[in-house]
Amino acid sequence: MAISDSGKIDYLWKKLGYGVAKTDTNAAKKAPNEAIVSPLLIRGDKVWTKADKIPATKPGSTTTHVRIYDTTTSIECTEDGTSTAKRTWKTGLTDWIPPEFGSTYLVKIYSDAASAANPVSSGTQLFGTGSGNNDEWFFDYQAGIVHFIGTNIPSSVSGSRKVYVAGARYIGAMGIGSANNFVTVGAKEVQANTVTVGTTSITRANNTIKTTNTVVTGTATINTLNLSTALSANSGGTGIRSFTVNGVPIGATAGRLAFVTGTNGEFLQIAANGTPTFGDIDGSTY
């Protein structure tokens, strides 16, 4: 005996509406009484990591994160040969941007001759609500499939005519990797309060990592360290960026060294203001 439609609907109601598994019929156990949690799977490799770069209004032309298919670039679909004739059409492309990002992302469907140059102009637009002849369509934005979900197929989809889709797809970076293998980040900026890693190497070439206050609680091994400002004495440095050849180091301030130099025959003396300096000794003074 086939699975009843009511059983299928009960499964979807519990899964989507309550995030629980279906363990009994609706008559025996209502959705609020199901106890086994069963959330929808969110695949890390399919996460749109730059979805925040999708504008609320569909752009007029392709951008770094959004590819536009309109007028002459609309997609000619291929009929799904495993379904009833003319019932389902495949774009061959995934990750179409749904109207939850903005109403202008709602795809437009057309029928026209095969290889039409501009089906948006020359073809017949098919509306999702149908033409009044039970010929509605549904578009699966993740799979990129047009399915005529109504009882009938639109009359303009006949003979050798094809179905065309105009809309937009997400083409930005995808995937977040795993917590223990944070290898590739396609974004230009990474913003976080805390980044915790184990025995891990962060390798980048000719890039800048900017933080307000970075704390390393373990051992930091750095092959080459270039500082934009001199490291002060309270941080274990000298407070200067270079040494003076043949100079004698002195404490210039509480946090910085300085160098004084002299010439042949001069003596290191303490000036009246307490500053060490080189100079000659005048015998008449002593």
Euclidean distance between CA atoms 171 and 214, whole angstroms: 34
Percent of residues, the chain, with pLDDT higher than 90: 59
* pLDDT of 260 over the 60 cut: yes
Between 22 and 230, where is the model more confident?
22
Report pLDDT digits (tens) over 176-210: 865 455 445 554 555 556 666 555 566 665 666 66
pLDDT of residue 152: 97
The two three-digit tokens of residue 266, written as one number: 């001069």
Euclidean distance between CA atoms 272 and 275, whole angstroms: 7
176: Cβ–Cβ under 8 A, 6 or more apart, which residues?
Answer: 44, 47, 49
* pLDDT of 216 over the 70 cut: yes
Mean pLDDT of 260-267: 79
Provide the β-strand partners of residue 146.
89, 139
Average pLDDT, rounded, for the chain: 86
pLDDT of residue 283: 66
| Contact yes or no for 173/49 (Cβ under 8 A) | yes
* pLDDT of 164 over the 90 cut: yes
188: Cβ–Cβ under 8 A, 6 or more apart, which residues?
Answer: none
For the ranges 31-45, 136-150, 245-259, which has the lowest average pLDDT?
Answer: 245-259
Quickly state the pLDDT bin for 272 (edges 50, 70, 90).
confident
Percent of residues, the chain, with pLDDT higher than 70: 86
Task: State the amino acid at position 28 in one-letter form.
Answer: A
CA 190 vs CA 49, 50, 179: distances in Å: 11, 11, 15
Euclidean distance between CA atoms 186 and 184, whole angstroms: 6
Euclidean distance between CA atoms 217 and 238, whole angstroms: 23
